[in-house]
Amino acid sequence: MAESLNQVIRYFSTYEAREEAFREQVCALIPRKHAGPDQFWRDFGTFSKNGFSENDIRPVAHITSNPRDCLAFGTPLQVLAAAKLCGSRVNGCAGIDVKAVADDFNLGGNLSQPVRTLSGGETVKLAIAKAYIAAGGSRKLVVASPFSWLSRANRHCFDKLYDRYRELDLPIDLLALDGEDSVEPVHFEETPDMFCPRLLDFSISLKNVRIPLGALVDFSGNGQPVARVENAELALASPCLFLGENGQGKSLVAKVFARAVQSRGSARINRDCRSGSAARLLFQDAISQTLLRPVDALVDGQTEALGIYREIIADIPAPNDEVASSGSNGWKSLFDIKGALVASRLVGRPAALILDEPDWGLSRKAAIAFVSAVIRSAHRRGVPVILISHKPWWLSIAGSTVQVNKIDGDESAGFGIRLSPGRPEIP
């Protein structure tokens, strides 16, 4: 299948170019969030006015670069049932067993869970399962960044989707960023500076951490589900890499350290005078974190933040076409947006800066340049950097690694999360 897969992949150097190609394939159905609120509402108004007739005749099955953007319903069961219903209007897909498909994609235990609470990996598996069900009623499949969200252990989910469309003799268009599908750790030649960073020592401490999930996950009134994080005391060196497959709890732990979710117990990152203060977090989908504010607004009125932003951008060795501006009225490239968000977080000298899947929306070359520049900028200010990733790219530059694994729960928690030190072998 590898040879045929290569024949349907188109590569792009920038997020913006890839998004434009994706919109062309799906009849401009997806408004452009990355181009600012004005463009977003113009796009929304255009397809609201023109209707969906072109896509209704025989829809294009699609998975957006942020798979959450193509999931319109509240729970996975509702998403998959709607996909079956839409397919049945065209060719009678009544024989599809939604729950069986969910089991095939390892979603059987998530069917009643609100979509907004799924992990990134669970979200993309749901989008893949939806497209799998919709195949019978679709004229083609279009996927943006097919290799960005799934860990290697879950690649079989994508392979299953690919095989289904091939069996139905339907066109497949995969739109990827340059190097997105690489499984090679960063090489010295790609960025020599990353191999000789000034390492920063820091530690993390987790004691009796419980993360209440009831308000988000359970509406049955039968108790409040809780996630339990095992106690841990780890001495680490920045840059530190948090590793784990999809759905293991990496991002949830990061949100606890950043105090972005409620939790009980103690979760501390200790570094000099900032011991115990909160970390700051850059989401995987950084665009959602802007709240549709332009780059200029993200650092507006913050002289130091503007200086850090300029420092990061100036520190990028990538060629201009990889980081080019592509907007107006303060809206620039995704590269610039990420730089501005990082700058606004470094101003407060947090206990740590956490980058969740920092390669999202960037080519491999641009992602390496971005991470390299951010590490240098953070270390100049004494701020440790934690990278969260399921990719092996960052193994070669990590000063320390932490393996994150979901474990069985107990009488007090629905599931547990274990953080253990280690340095997995570079493949």
Give the DSSP letter string of 33-51. GGG-HHHHHHHHHHHHHH-
pLDDT in tens, 22-74: 988 887 677 887 777 788 888 877 766 666 555 555 688 999 998 998 998 98
In a domain, residue 184? The reply is no
pLDDT confidence of residue 329: 45
Pairing of strands 140-144, 60-63: parallel
255/379 same-domain check: yes
Residue 325: give the domain boundaries: 192-422
pLDDT score of 197: 57
CA dist list (Å): 406 to 184, 415, 421? 26, 7, 15
Residue 425 confidence (pLDDT): 52
∠ Cα 145 146 152 (to 5°): 125
- Please tell me the pTM assigned to this model: 0.87
DSSP state of 231: -
119 and 75 part of one domain: yes
Are 36 and 132 within one domain? yes
Q: What's the CA gap between 257 and 135, in Å, rounded?
A: 41
**182 is a domain residue:** no
221 against 191, higher pLDDT: 191
Q: What is the pLDDT of residue 415?
A: 84
Which strands make up the sheet holding 140-144, listed edge to edge?
9-12, 172-177, 140-144, 60-63
Q: How many residues does the chain have?
A: 427
Are 167 and 236 within one domain? Answer: no
- Let me know whether 380 and 349 are in one domain: yes
Within-domain flag for 185: no
What distances in angstroms separate CA 255 from CA 227, 249, 383, one per listed residue? 13, 10, 17
289 vs 376 pLDDT, higher one: 376
Query: Same structural domain for residues 138 and 228?
Result: no
Domains in the chain, number: 2
Q: Which of 131, 148, 177 is the last residue of a domain?
A: 177
Domain final position from 177, 202, 231: 177
The pairing of beta strand 400-410 with beta strand 413-422: antiparallel
Least confident range of 25-29, 207-211, 390-394:
25-29
Q: What CATH number is given to the structural domain containing 384?
A: 3.40.50.300
Residue 131 within any structural domain of the chain: yes
The residue from 177, 210, 245 where one domain ends is 177
The more confident residue out of 247 and 163 is 163
pLDDT of residue 302: 75
Does 87 share its domain with 203? no
SS3 letters for 253-298?
HHHHHCCCCCCEEEEEEECHHHCCCCCEEECCCHHHHCCCCCHHHH
Helix (H, G, I), strand (E, B) or coil at 83: helix
**pLDDT score recorded for residue 220:** 45
Phi, psi at 136, each rounded to 5°: -65, -25
- Crossing angle between the packed helical segments 120-134 and 76-91, to the nearest 10 degrees: 20
In this predicted structure, what is the pLDDT of residue 11? 94
In terms of domains, do 58 and 21 share one?
Answer: yes
Q: What is the pLDDT of residues 333-342, one digit of tens each?
A: 888 889 989 9
Q: Which residues share a beta bridge with 388?
A: 242, 356
Indicate whether 245 and 298 sit together in one domain.
yes
- What local confidence, expressed as pLDDT, does residue 427 receive? 46
End-to-end Cα, the chain, rounded Å:
22
Answer yes or no: do 165 and 203 share one domain: no
Q: Which of 21-30, 186-195, 259-268, 390-399 has the lowest mean pLDDT?
A: 186-195
CA–CA distances in Å: residue 299 to residues 176, 290, 340, 411: 30, 11, 6, 46
pLDDT bucket at 305, cuts 50 / 70 / 90: confident
